[in-house]
Amino acid sequence: MRILMIAPPGAGKGTQGALIAAHFNIPHIATGELLRDHVARQTPLGRAVQEYLDRGELVPDEIVLGMVREAMIAAKATGGGYVLDGIPRNMAQARAAYEIGLELGMTADVALHLQADDAELTRRLLARAALEHRSDDTPEVIAQRLALYYDVTAPILAWYSERGILVSVDAMRSASEVGREILVALEAMRPFLDHVPGQDRFPLDLTSLGEAFGATGSPASASE
């Protein structure tokens, strides 16, 4: 199972990425986590990226891509599956990640898109700020991260849709409901993934399922 996740900040990439990784027993490669770990350890890479993280800006592509290439090589040694969380974040990274995948024989089977509206995302990020004290969870930096998502990250979705590997889910529900829907969709697709290439598949839009089952749109119980 080879999955990449595209979602605005606060949609739950980290939570759902960890769930998918545990379920399929594959490595969870989370670029934000890897970068924050470098910052915490004050490695040369950490010192070079700290300001970008604090300002909610993208760190230079070559830094993230180098890190991800290493992690993908390690993933290949453990069976070849992965969940990429936090990359790609712009079109150049999407192309580069595809090239790395081609080179290693492990291009993504599914581009998983988590969808949620800005009010809910901001609410979740501010709630997290109170608990975790991440340097980028302040109102100004959150606004900057959301703007960047719509400007440079969201446009990549069309590319995955054309490649037939896009799966969109409604992330405006509790983490456990969203997680269950993701695992059901991935389990249902699993038998096809090895045999049916992306170009012969269709994008899958599950975003109206929440409504069909009576979701109200902004559940108080939703968490990242």
The residues of the shown chain that bind ligand ADP, judged by CB under 6 A, are 9, 13, 31-32, 35, 52-53, 56-59, 64, 86-87, 89, 93, 136, 145
- Closest approach of ligand ADP to the CB of residue 53, in Å: 4
Which CB atom, from 45 or from 59, has the smaller least distance to ligand ADP?
59
Helix axes 13-24, 175-193, angle to 10 degrees: 50
- Closest approach of ligand ADP to the CB of residue 109, in Å: 20
Amino acid (1-letter code) at residue 223: S
Q: By the 8 A CB rule, do 186 and 109 touch?
A: no
Other CB atoms within a 10 A radius of the CB of residue 185 amount to 18
Which CB atom, from 61 or from 209, has the smaller least distance to ligand ADP?
61
- Closest approach of ligand ADP to the CB of residue 181, in Å: 20
Burial class (CB in 10 A: 0-12, 13-18, 19+), 135: middle
Which CB atom, from 120 or from 136, has the smaller least distance to ligand ADP?
136
Beta-bridged to residue 176, according to DSSP, are: none
Which CB atom, from 86 or from 198, has the smaller least distance to ligand ADP?
86
Alpha helices in 25-138 (DSSP H): 31-41, 44-55, 61-77, 91-104, 118-132
- Closest approach of ligand ADP to the CB of residue 165, in Å: 18
Nearest to 86 by CA among 34, 143, 132: 34
CA quadruple 49, 52, 56, 57: dihedral, nearest 10: -110
Query: Residue of minimal CB distance from ligand ADP?
Result: 32
Which CB atom, from 32 or from 179, has the smaller least distance to ligand ADP?
32
Q: Distance between the two ends of the chain, CA-based, in angstroms?
A: 23
- Closest approach of ligand ADP to the CB of residue 58, in Å: 4
Which CB atom, from 11 or from 201, has the smaller least distance to ligand ADP?
11
Which CB atom, from 32 or from 198, has the smaller least distance to ligand ADP?
32
Query: What is the spatial distance between Cα 10 and Cα 120, in angstroms, rounded to a whole number?
Result: 8
**Does residue 84 sit in helix, strand or coil?**
strand
Query: What is the spatial distance between Cα 63 and Cα 65, in angstroms, rounded to a whole number?
Result: 6
